[in-house]
């Protein structure tokens, strides 16, 4: 059978996976997921609205909170539609173009959240270690430049990876491991060599998280050193309490993201770590028909 070009209508289909073996309980599983997603959407939307409407909150700390809420909204909105579709309606099909769009919004939100957390660490450093110069360093114009730099950095980091996906070949039906498209997961079902994509994506992940993590750690080393020089115990506890929530947010964000990315790249599908249950889809063509080029 001849290869199909990207001008034909016979595009590859990606089959999203819910909870294999628990299909009968998908409706019940969807209830807490939907409630948590709704709380996340309403909570972050409320934060955005309050920061916009309240002039007293127009300062760097709340600008960063605004950015963080925006990225959280992006993460929720990029995964919620397909997950709800799988759990409620068993709508498991997604086209390549739709998958790439979801990949972009999912990973761009993650990359920007990493950058915002690094910027917040810098804000904490200036506030604690250079309090007298805080107002002159963290100005509105500088905040705008930081926001633009975060977006530009995300585009430079991610766009090449997504363009490289278009050069891969896929089978007509490709079973993914999640209820949404995830970059390493998509690469694993490619019928052609995707090592360039995988290594490139891993390099970008290491560079972004590596630089951000190093900057955050350095900021907190300097913060701790400055706090230990404070003679007042009350001042020390106040300074540490200011940073506690940020450290928690950094841990909650980085640890699952890095672990999930590394597991997908270094543990092949079907390994003993997480053996997937594949359900043969009701399609007239075989699960791994002859691949075609995109």
Q: Give me the pLDDT at residue 263, please.
A: 58
Instruction: Note whether residue 136 is domain-resident.
Output: yes
Residue 106 has a CB neighbour count (10 Å cut-off) of 19
Residue 246 covered by a domain: yes
Segments in 59-194 forming alpha helices (H) = 60-89, 96-129, 134-137, 140-165, 183-188
The pLDDT score that the predictor gives to residue 19 is: 83
Note down the domain range covering 150: 13-277
208, part of any domain: yes
Whether 121 is in a domain gets the answer yes
> Is residue 285 in some structural domain?
no
Whole-model pTM: value is 0.78
Dist CA 70 CA 159 (whole Å): 20
Please report whether residue 88 resides in a domain: yes
* Domain count for the chain: 1
The predicted structure's pLDDT at residue 286? 39
**DSSP one-letter code for 167:** T
Answer whether residue 106 is part of any domain: yes
Cα torsion 88, 89, 93, 94: sign: negative
Residue 213 near residue 117 (C-beta atoms within 8 A): no
CATH number at residue 145: 1.20.1070.10
Per-run averaged pLDDT (10 residues), the chain, 294 residues: 42 87 88 92 94 92 91 92 92 92 92 91 89 91 94 92 88 87 89 87 85 89 83 71 69 63 53 38 41 43
pLDDT in tens, 66-99: 999 999 999 999 999 999 999 999 999 999 999 9
């Amino acid at each position: 059978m001849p290869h199909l070009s990207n001008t034909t209508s016979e595009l590859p289909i990606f089959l999203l996976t819910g909870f294999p073996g628990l299909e009968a309980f998908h409706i019940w599983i969807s209830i807490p997921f939907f409630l948590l997603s709704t709380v996340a959407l309403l909570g972050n939307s409320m934060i955005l609205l309050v920061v916009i409407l309240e002039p007293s909150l127009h300062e760097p700390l709340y600008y960063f909170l605004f950015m963080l809420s925006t990225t959280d909204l992006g993460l929720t909105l990029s995964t919620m539609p397909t997950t709800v579709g799988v759990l409620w309606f068993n709508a498991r099909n997604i086209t390549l173009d739709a998958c790439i769009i979801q990949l972009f919004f999912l990973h761009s939100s993650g990359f920007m959240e990493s950058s915002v957390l690094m910027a917040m660490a810098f804000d904490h450093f200036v506030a604690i270690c250079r309090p007298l110069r805080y107002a002159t360093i963290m100005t509105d114009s500088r905040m705008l430049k930081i926001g633009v730099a975060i977006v530009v950095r995300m585009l430079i980091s991610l766009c090449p990876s997504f363009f490289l996906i278009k050069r891969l070949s896929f089978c007509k039906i490709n079973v993914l491991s999640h209820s949404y498209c995830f970059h390493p997961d998509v690469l694993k079902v490619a019928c052609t060599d995707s090592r360039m994509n995988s290594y490139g994506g891993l390099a970008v992940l290491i560079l972004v998280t590596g630089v951000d993590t190093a900057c955050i750690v350095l900021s907190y080393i300097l913060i701790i050193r400055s706090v230990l020089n404070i003679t007042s115990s009350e001042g020390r506890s106040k300074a540490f309490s200011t940073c506690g929530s940020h450290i928690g947010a950094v841990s909650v964000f980085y640890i699952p993201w890095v672990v999930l990315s590394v597991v997908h790249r270094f543990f092949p599908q079907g390994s003993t770590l997480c053996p997937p249950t594949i359900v043969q889809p009701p399609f007239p063509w075989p699960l791994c028909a002859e691949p075609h080029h995109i």
